[in-house]
Structure 1
Amino acid sequence: MKLVWATLSTALLITACSNNADTDTTAEQASEKGWQTTFFDDFETFNTDNWQDQILWVNNEDQCYVRDGAFDTREVSNGTLKLRVVDLGQKRPCDNMNKAGEQHPDTQYVAGRIASKNKQEFVQGKWTARLRVPNSGQPGMFPAWWLLGAYNNEPPVQEADETVCWPMTGSGELDIFEHHSDGGPNHYAARIIKNEGHCGGGDWQSQMLVQEATLDKFHEYSVEWMNNDVIFRLDDVEVYRIKDEGHLLPEPFFAILNFAKINDSPMTSNWTMEVDWVKHETWVE
């Protein structure tokens, strides 16, 4: 069963972080206010307690997601995670399936996608990743750092309650960083996918910010729930606020990092999204 928190008190946070903390440490934590870290991964290793490969076909993407970093699509080295799209030079079979049960056609491109589904899931709070994408703006590029509701019915379906279709409540989506090459280099999108009330009914445009950033440099990209607002930040500076809609996203969310290819344009260089760390924090009053 998933852990669902409508609210998270200081006492619950302390229990979750350390069941064995001594009395002095507990008292010190209880006296602190502000953001408290509930999850942090600095990618010294690929920790399977935090992440799993997510293998599926969505958005008519051209690449095939592969497991276990096959073909160098996923690498952890020198303290960072690298997710890549790799051109194999010739087409090969792909086992990725879409929502309708159709199999991805043969493709010469493979890529990495990882998710914290059923590993690290949290209600609201603040999610942040420090990452960079060199050589941005090349045709077909589609790297992303985003959240999806934990009751989503897309693969892998591992628990009985994973029955909710996108983007209904329970399967909501927030995109914290999404670089779409059609707009050129050095920009990204941040958004909430607005739920239109039926399966597959997602409004991508009305709650979206397009923000400039030097994508080849590391930046911190975050989203937080605060006083029923949803706030997007770049290097901890607010860049976009959606007011009075935090309650529309009450479910636990898991994190996704992936690099997709969205058309058949040839690749002219290596495509890599490099991630320094990911964390989740909870606000303590």
Structure 2
Amino acid sequence: MNKPSFSGIFLFCLAFMLVATKPAFPQEYKLVWSDEFNGDAINTETWKFWEGTAYNNELQYYTPRSKNAYIKDGKLYLEAHRENYMGRGFTSARISTDSTSIGWEQGRFEARLKMPEGKGFWPAFWLMPIKDLGWPRSGEIDIMEYRGNEPYTTSGAIHFWKKECEGNPVECRKFFVEEFTQENKLNDTFHTYSLEWTNDALIWYLDDQEYQRIPFEEIEAEFDPFSGPFYIILNLAVGGDFLPNPDESTEFPQAFIVDYVRVYQK
């Protein structure tokens, strides 16, 4: 048998490397925005801090303090503390690209995230519309939500106003949600959470494995909610309607850690 030439081996290795490093999403997507959190502080020209309480009967008070939101070793930390502050028993952080100049319609939204551990933690990576007609008329896209008491499971969802519904947001809200459970705990290491928003559908991924697809033709909504640019929100809630509240076994402080956030478009 003839031995392969050096050039043949080189070309084979090069082809293998190109295949091995090929992104899981189509090549027509290009990176249009990202925050890699490589600086010394959170970029306040990009990120807006939410300060105060929140919805869903959550227990935390969101602050812009450096103990609740900071950058360390190239990663963003949104950190929850058990402390009495402004009439609440916990503090945490929520940031968003809530600006008419920072928003996107369609594309691939992706973040590499590590979850906190324990009962009562509710981190989220989600999108809200710059066009605000009053929730949920303009829509909401939850790319990743996590319950600290269910460490193997994540979920993705959308919220919108039902077609031809006349009433209040409680009566007229409709939502689709899908949970995805894997073999390893999501708080053990970083995982990649992605949403692909195309002309035809919304598609959710965990580590590039698709687990939910919602075609737009199945969404019977009023007010054309999933049109126009949406902005990104990252937050760590404590307790609330979505999960059990923390108890004595829950260790504080703990952080929702973000390695990067990226937006790709065609």
TM-score range, shorter chain: 0.7 to 0.9
Aligned residues: 218
Q: How do residues 204-283 of structure 1 correspond to structure 2 at under 5 angstroms?
A: 204=175, 207-213=176-182, 214-216=185-187, 217-245=189-217, 248-262=225-239, 263=245, 265-266=247-248, 267-283=250-266
Match of 2:97 among 102, 116, 120: 116
In the TM superposition, residue 115 of structure 1 has moved relative to its aligned partner by 0.4
- The one-letter code sitting in structure 1 at the alignment partner of 2:90 is Y
Structure 1 residues 67-98: Cα deviation after superposition (integer angstroms, max 9, x where no partner):
243xx11110100001111112xx332xxxxx
Q: Which runs of 5+ in 1 are unaligned?
A: 1-31, 94-105, 153-163
* 1:50 matched residue in structure 2: 46
Match of 1:40 among 23, 34, 38: 34
Answer whether contact 2:107 2:197 (CA < 8 A) is retained: yes
TM-score of the pair, normalised by structure 2:
0.75
* 1:167 matched residue in structure 2: 136
In the TM superposition, residue 199 of structure 1 has moved relative to its aligned partner by 5.1
Structure number with bigger Rg: 2
In the TM superposition, residue 264 of structure 1 has moved relative to its aligned partner by 5.6
Shift in CA distance, 274/33, structure 1 to aligned 2, threshold 3 Å: closer
* 1:75 matched residue in structure 2: 70
Answer whether contact 2:81 2:252 (CA < 8 A) is retained: no
In the TM superposition, residue 271 of structure 1 has moved relative to its aligned partner by 2.1
Partners of 1:77 and 1:181 in 2: CA distance: 23
Q: Which runs of 5+ in 2 are unaligned?
A: 1-25, 240-244
TM-score of the pair, normalised by structure 1:
0.70
Partners of 1:232 and 1:275 in 2: CA distance: 18
Verify: 1:139 aligned to 2:111, yes or no: no
Answer whether contact 2:50 2:95 (CA < 8 A) is retained: yes
Partners of 2:111 and 2:259 in 1: CA distance: 7
Answer whether contact 1:166 1:199 (CA < 8 A) is retained: no
Partners of 1:111 and 1:225 in 2: CA distance: 30
- The one-letter code sitting in structure 2 at the alignment partner of 1:175 is D
Identity of aligned residues (%): 28
Partners of 2:193 and 2:174 in 1: CA distance: 22
- The one-letter code sitting in structure 2 at the alignment partner of 1:51 is W
Partners of 1:67 and 1:110 in 2: CA distance: 10
* 2:174 matched residue in structure 1: 203
Structure 1 residues 193-252: Cα deviation after superposition (integer angstroms, max 9, x where no partner):
242355524334xx1111124312111111112241110111222111001358751121
- The one-letter code sitting in structure 1 at the alignment partner of 2:44 is T
